[in-house]
């Protein structure tokens, strides 16, 4: 297959490039920092520049591409959510989708599958309810962000292109994402419960992310929304206890909600105190079999993998 990945230098993107290249696929990486991309991916992938509202540098590659994976969006963890940064988070996503739409309109092929990142934040704070892909959107900023991001891609589907929306939970990998950030904190005996700890924490191993995306690409009936989370629904308190056990440390601390909100504001409320209990109903209905369906097995694997040489020189999220 020929696969174009837009925004490939983040945590998930780097793993997807490595995974698909190892299988002998033809990879085209489109990103703002070509020098960084070449250091990460050459010669496994052709690296081309990303320009907002100008797909011309990579437009020709789209003519015979089998799939385009869009991971572009400013990092929601990078800064506190000031009004200007919230606007930047939204615009970076919407304008990227509009640029890709321009590209699809300009080419004749309609055989290319379009996959777009989104997030389970779409559902807002579900409290103790367990939701699937049919649940309505929530009412906080993350829900608004995910909703607008997904809605922006509707014109692409209107062109007759198969569209797949990937609502990511907390993605765990040995060299990036939440696990890489939290592991040293827990090793220094600083892990614990945030707020009440009853908020849902939907998670997924990076290996299952890779395998599930490949599964959707080859499954001709796959389309629409897919929750990218493991079947095991757990709370933040349960996740903390499992991570502490995996690294061989206690996690005795309880961080009150008011302190989280004082330190991180709205971002802390949405990302740390709100949560979702989410089922991967659509993936399971298509027959996908999770490699890591239980958190303890996933964390054990990640601890083991984290002792090996790192795949990539940098540690970023999408």
Domain assignment of residue 283, yes or no:
yes
Domain assignment of residue 160, yes or no:
yes
| Angstrom distance (rounded) from CA 99 to CA 53 | 5
Domain assignment of residue 189, yes or no:
yes
What are 232-270's pLDDT values in tens digits? 999 999 999 999 999 999 999 999 999 999 999 999 999
* Tokens, residue 32: 């703002």
Domain assignment of residue 139, yes or no:
yes
- At 310 the pLDDT is 59
- At 315 the pLDDT is 38
Contacts of 300 (CB under 8 A, 6+ apart): 246
Q: What is the CATH number of the domain that holds 274?
A: 3.40.50.720
Residue 153 has φ and ψ, to the nearest 5°, of -90, 0
Residue 231 has pLDDT above 50, yes or no: yes
Residue 105 has pLDDT above 50, yes or no: yes
- At 34 the pLDDT is 87
Is the pTM above the cut of 0.85?
yes
What are 124-162's pLDDT values in tens digits? 999 999 999 999 999 999 999 999 999 999 999 999 999
Residue 318 has pLDDT above 80, yes or no: no
Q: Considering only the C-alpha atoms of the chain, give the largest distance between any 2 of them, rounded to a whole number of Å.
A: 59
Picking from 79, 316, 125, the residue whose alpha carbon sits closest to that of residue 236 is: 125
What are 53-92's pLDDT values in tens digits? 999 999 999 999 999 999 999 999 999 999 999 999 999 9
- At 255 the pLDDT is 96
Total number of domains in the chain: 1
- At 108 the pLDDT is 85
Domain assignment of residue 312, yes or no:
no
The residue behind tokens 């002998």 is 24
The residue behind tokens 């109903």 is 281
Domain that holds residue 66: 2-306
Domain assignment of residue 316, yes or no:
no
Picking from 76, 209, 202, the residue whose alpha carbon sits closest to that of residue 149 is: 76
Residue 45 has φ and ψ, to the nearest 5°, of -140, 150
Domain assignment of residue 317, yes or no:
no
What are 1-27's pLDDT values in tens digits? 999 999 999 999 999 999 999 999 999
**Beta partners for residue 171, in sequence order:** 204
- At 23 the pLDDT is 94
> Per residue in 23-56, is it b (16+ CB within 10 Å) or e — as a string?
eebbbbbbbeebeebeebbeebbbbbebeeeebe
Q: How confident is the model at residue 317 (pLDDT cuts 50, 70, 90)?
A: very low
């Amino acid at each position: 297959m020929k696969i174009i990945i837009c925004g490939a230098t983040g945590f998930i993107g780097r793993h997807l490039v490595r995974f698909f290249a190892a299988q002998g696929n033809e990879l085209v990486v489109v990103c703002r920092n070509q020098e960084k991309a070449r250091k990460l991916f050459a010669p496994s992938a052709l690296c081309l520049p990303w320009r907002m509202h100008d797909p011309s540098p990579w437009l020709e590659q789209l003519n015979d591409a089998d799939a385009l994976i869009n991971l572009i969006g400013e990092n929601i963890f990078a800064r506190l959510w000031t009004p200007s940064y919230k606007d930047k988070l939204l615009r970076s996503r919407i304008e990227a989708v509009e640029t890709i739409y321009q590209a699809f309109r300009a080419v004749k092929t309609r055989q290319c599958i379009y996959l777009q990142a989104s997030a389970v934040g779409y559902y807002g704070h579900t409290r103790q309810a367990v939701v699937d892909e049919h649940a309505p959107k929530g009412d906080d900023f993350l829900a608004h962000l995910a909703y607008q991001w997904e809605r922006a891609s509707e014109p692409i589907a209107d062109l007759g292109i198969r569209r797949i929306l990937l609502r990511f939970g907390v993605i765990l990998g040995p060299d990036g994402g939440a696990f890489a950030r939290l592991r040293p904190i827990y090793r220094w005996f600083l892990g614990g419960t945030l707020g009440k700890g009853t908020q849902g924490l939907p998670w997924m191993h990076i290996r299952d992310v890779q395998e599930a995306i490949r599964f959707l690409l080859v499954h001709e009936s796959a389309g629409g929304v897919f929750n990218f989370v493991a079947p095991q629904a757990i709370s933040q308190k349960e996740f903390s206890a499992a991570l502490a056990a995996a690294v061989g440390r206690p996690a005795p601390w309880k961080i009150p909600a008011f302190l989280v909100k004082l330190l991180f504001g709205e971002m802390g409320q949405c990302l740390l105190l709100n949560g979702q209990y989410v089922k991967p109903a659509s993936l399971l209905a298509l027959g996908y079999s999770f490699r890591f369906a239980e958190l303890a097995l996933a964390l054990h694997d990640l601890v083991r993998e984290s002792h090996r040489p790192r795949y990539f020189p940098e540690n970023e999220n999408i």
